[in-house]
């Protein structure tokens, strides 16, 4: 039952997201609504093409987990119906956004983020070895999805705060954008060093570079975005070295006694 529900959930999510922009839902595309908000933590339009990669990965996951050989896969069983929940949150956000219920979009976005974090943890990404098929059809898709939703959550919050005319506690929007970039670098670095998750970090690089490009006319934000991009790239290299050093230490400690 779980396997069938997951397949239906991903198909429904992709179809509804496609129709939302093809019709478009409520007469507006997702991007047209996003362009209304004067916020800096939003990347250039081309960056959103990552959704194509995300949905391709989720289709791969849906097919893989539906295979008879994966019915008793303990890691996939631990995910349970969380994936279906994430799809429901995705679609709920879509309708709330298109019908301009912006404050309520935060509830849907946080539910999506939480469900993906739980999936990530239950899959044990970066904590255990799996087959190449499971790595590319399960772990990488969810790493990419979670990476993007991490960025999207921050962007959603900033858009809603702009919508309600939040004063920013006297701090300017450009400075807040820099603060959010710093937070993003910190999160990406933490994931890199604790999980060795390059896919997650590359999504952050993709998004931050897009922020730098979109806001090239605003030096404070553009420079901060490019510096943040460079720092995450450096963190990728450093985390890879860190993970290799840990593996080497483990191999040495498990080696034969002299």
Please give the backbone phi and psi of residue 128, each rounded to the nearest 5 degrees, phi first.
Answer: -150, 155
Residue 195 within any structural domain of the chain:
yes
Give per-residue pLDDT as tens, 91-127.
999 999 999 999 999 999 999 999 999 999 999 999 9
pLDDT of residue 177: 97
* Residues 254, 256, 258: CA angle, nearest 5 degrees: 130
Residue 201 within any structural domain of the chain:
yes
Instruction: State the total domains in the chain.
Output: 1
In this predicted structure, the answer to whether residue 254 has a pLDDT above a threshold of 80 is: no
**Own/partner long-range contacts of 23-32 (Cβ < 8 Å, ≥24 apart):** 24/98, 25/94, 25/95, 25/98, 25/99, 26/98, 26/99, 26/100, 28/98, 30/94, 30/97, 30/98
Q: Do 60 and 141 contact (CB within 8 A), yes or no?
A: yes
In this predicted structure, the answer to whether residue 250 has a pLDDT above a threshold of 90 is: no
Residue 158 within any structural domain of the chain:
yes
Q: Check whether the bond before 24 is cis (ω within 30° of 0).
A: yes
**Which residues, including other chains, have CB under 8 Å from residue 186's CB and lie 6 or more apart?**
none
Residue 258 within any structural domain of the chain:
no
pTM of full prediction above 0.85: yes
Residues 219, 221: Cα–Cα separation, whole Å: 6
Residue 30 within any structural domain of the chain:
yes
In this predicted structure, the answer to whether residue 148 has a pLDDT above a threshold of 70 is: yes
Domain span at residue 76 reads 2-253
DSSP state of 169: G
Residue 17 within any structural domain of the chain:
yes
């Amino acid at each position: 039952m779980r396997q069938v529900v997951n397949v239906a959930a991903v198909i429904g999510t992709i179809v509804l997201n496609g129709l939302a922009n093809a019709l478009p839902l409520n007469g507006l595309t997702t991007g047209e609504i996003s362009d209304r908000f004067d916020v800096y933590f939003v990347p250039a339009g081309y960056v959103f093409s990552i959704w194509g990669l995300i949905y391709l990965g989720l289709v791969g996951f849906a097919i893989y987990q539906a295979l008879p050989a994966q019915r008793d896969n303990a890691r996939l069983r631990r995910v349970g119906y969380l994936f279906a929940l994430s799809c429901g949150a995705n679609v709920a956000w879509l309708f709330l956004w298109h019908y301009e219920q912006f404050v309520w979009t935060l509830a849907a976005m946080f539910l999506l983020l939480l469900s993906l974090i739980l999936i990530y943890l239950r899959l044990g990404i970066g904590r255990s070895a799996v087959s190449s098929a499971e790595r590319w059809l399960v772990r990488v898709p969810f790493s990419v999805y979670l990476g993007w939703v991490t960025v999207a959550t921050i962007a959603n919050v900033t858009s809603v705060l702009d919508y309600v005319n939040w004063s920013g506690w006297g701090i300017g929007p450009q400075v807040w954008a820099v603060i959010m970039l710093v937070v993003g670098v910190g999160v990406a670095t933490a994931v890199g060093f604790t999980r060795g998750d390059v896919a997650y970090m590359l999504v952050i690089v993709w998004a931050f570079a897009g922020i730098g490009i979109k806001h090239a006319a605003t030096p404070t934000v553009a420079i901060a975005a490019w510096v943040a991009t460079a720092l995450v790239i450096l963190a990728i290299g450093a985390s890879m070295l860190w993970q290799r050093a840990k593996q080497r230490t483990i191999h040495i400690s498990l080696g034969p006694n002299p």
